[in-house]
Amino acid sequence: MKAAIRHLKRNRGRTILTLLAVLIPVYFLVFMFGFSNSIVSDMFETATRIDTGHFQVRHIERRGMGSAIPLMQDSESVLAALDEIDGVEWRTVRLDMPALASAADRSQTIYIQGVVPEEIAPISSIGDLVVEGTYLRNGQNGAVIGEELADLLNVGVGDEMALLCAHPETGLGVLKVPVVGIYQAPISAMGRTIIHTTLTTARQLARSPAATAVVVRVDDVEGPWDVGKIEAVTAQLTGSLPDELEVLDWRELAPQVSGYMRILQPAMIIFAAVFFGLGALVVLNTLYLSVMERTRELGLIISLGASRWRVIRMILTEAGLIAVIGAVYGALIGVALVWIVEAFGGIPLPGADLADYMKVVGMSPVLHMMISWPQVVVSAVTMVGVAILAAWFPAYRASKLEPVEAMRYVE
């Protein structure tokens, strides 16, 4: 250890270069963990707060239903079962079905969501997007439609439109409803097709007291890394449900979002591999040059009786010292930068249009960095391991030196 420290002090420039080769990959990886955690958290919140909840209870899908979701006749028993389970933060009943909206000589295929207005806020932002009229009130007969649908049908607040629903299980249903509110959708497809009515109105249209889903949120879930809490609640619920009902979590209900998240993980691995690989090459190069410069010294050490394993340990000790110091400082700098970014309120997204779009889809217009200590530790420990592994080759070469050849080589 003393010899390793002495040699590191003797070659300060090379030691600093090697330290940076270890420090920079760890720092960048910790910072990228903070950045990717923010993106994943926002994607998860958008999916679960705008439509899916953490999980839904539905009737098992049947063939031949087309775009219609099977009806669940006894949602009250599901609500009662949920009320007996620890960990449920919020739940509501929803009735979704395809329909046709028409006014005068104009019509448009739509998708109706029958909701309980006082309960829908945790999974829908439509109430906050209303720009004309008001959002629904419980028991009210009416509909909230998008600006695009209002333009297509040429209707405004107070005008009536006819809703025609043909569900495979209930047959044809027709109802006239007034437009009570118009919302500004983040994307035109949503504004053209999604309308909200009260659950009572939707049931009248379906001619059934049924629902299509019970949507649930779980306590203390902050991101996809808390999926274990969701699974714990669904495991309790599954055993108490009838055979014809199933539990679908957010990954099954929003496969595109979970797919994006799965892409991020290998991307982070590739990113880490590139930086760790570059760091390992610098460590290998500098230690190999160090061994070449000390050929005579190492040969003399071996000739005085030092074992070849001791020479290996000496080189690896130097690499270990540099790796540990560099990894610790790199991790601390990365964590400090994440904290500083958060102290200043995060990173605002560039451009007012992008920020406004993120707001209306339920995502934050500011990237809030977040990092967990396990991620910091994994980044630092991995870099230490990679650096020591890179140092093995020059250490092995040093241990194979023949004393006489080493002395002749230097002279």
pLDDT in tens, 263-305: 777 877 787 788 778 777 877 777 777 777 666 666 777 776 6
Closest CA to 213 of 43, 54, 45, 42: 54
Confidence of residue 176 (pLDDT cuts 50, 70, 90): very high
Burial of residue 404, with CB atoms counted within 10 A of its CB: 0-12 exposed, 13-18 middle, 19 or more buried:
exposed
- Answer yes or no: do 262 and 177 share one domain: no
Number of domains in the chain: 2
- Answer yes or no: do 16 and 90 share one domain: no
104: left (phi over 0), alpha (psi -120 to 50) or beta: left
pLDDT above 80 (res 406): no
Is residue 74 in a domain? yes
Is residue 78 in a domain? yes
Contact partners, residue 130, CB within 8 Å, separation at least 6: 144, 181, 182, 183
- Answer yes or no: do 43 and 63 share one domain: no
* pLDDT given at position 77: 87
State both tokens at 215.
Answer: 């949507």
* pLDDT given at position 151: 93
Q: What is the pLDDT of residues 125-153, one digit of tens each?
A: 888 889 999 999 888 889 999 999 999 99
- Answer yes or no: do 62 and 205 share one domain: yes
Strand bridging mode 245-249 / 213-218:
unpaired
- Answer yes or no: do 152 and 280 share one domain: no
- Answer yes or no: do 59 and 137 share one domain: yes
Distance of alpha carbon 129 from the chain centroid:
25
Instruction: Indicate the range of 52-61, 164-173, 380-389 predicted with least confidence.
Output: 164-173
Domain's final residue, options 172, 194, 220: 220
Instruction: Indicate the range of 14-28, 70-84, 392-406 predicted with least confidence.
Output: 392-406
Confidence of residue 397 (pLDDT cuts 50, 70, 90): confident
Is residue 231 in a domain? no
Domain's final residue, options 192, 220, 248: 220
Q: What's the farthest any 2 CA atoms get from each other in the chain?
A: 103
Is residue 249 in a domain? no
- Answer yes or no: do 270 and 378 share one domain: yes
- Answer yes or no: do 36 and 61 share one domain: no
Average pLDDT, the chain: 81
Give the helix/strand (H/E) hosting 46: helix 12-47
Length of the chain (residues): 411
Highest mean pLDDT among 20-24, 174-178, 393-397: 174-178
Is residue 398 in a domain? yes
Which residue range forms the structural domain that includes residue 300?
A: 2-47+258-410
Is residue 95 in a domain? yes
pTM for this structure?
0.71
Domain's final residue, options 220, 247, 270: 220
Mean pLDDT in residue range 7-29 = 76
- Answer yes or no: do 320 and 394 share one domain: yes
Is residue 155 in a domain? yes
Q: What is the pLDDT of residues 207-248, one digit of tens each?
A: 888 899 999 999 988 888 888 999 999 888 887 888 888 899
Is residue 228 in a domain? no
Confidence of residue 160 (pLDDT cuts 50, 70, 90): very high
Mean pLDDT in residue range 347-359 = 57
- Answer yes or no: do 35 and 184 share one domain: no
- Answer yes or no: do 275 and 156 share one domain: no
- Answer yes or no: do 32 and 66 share one domain: no
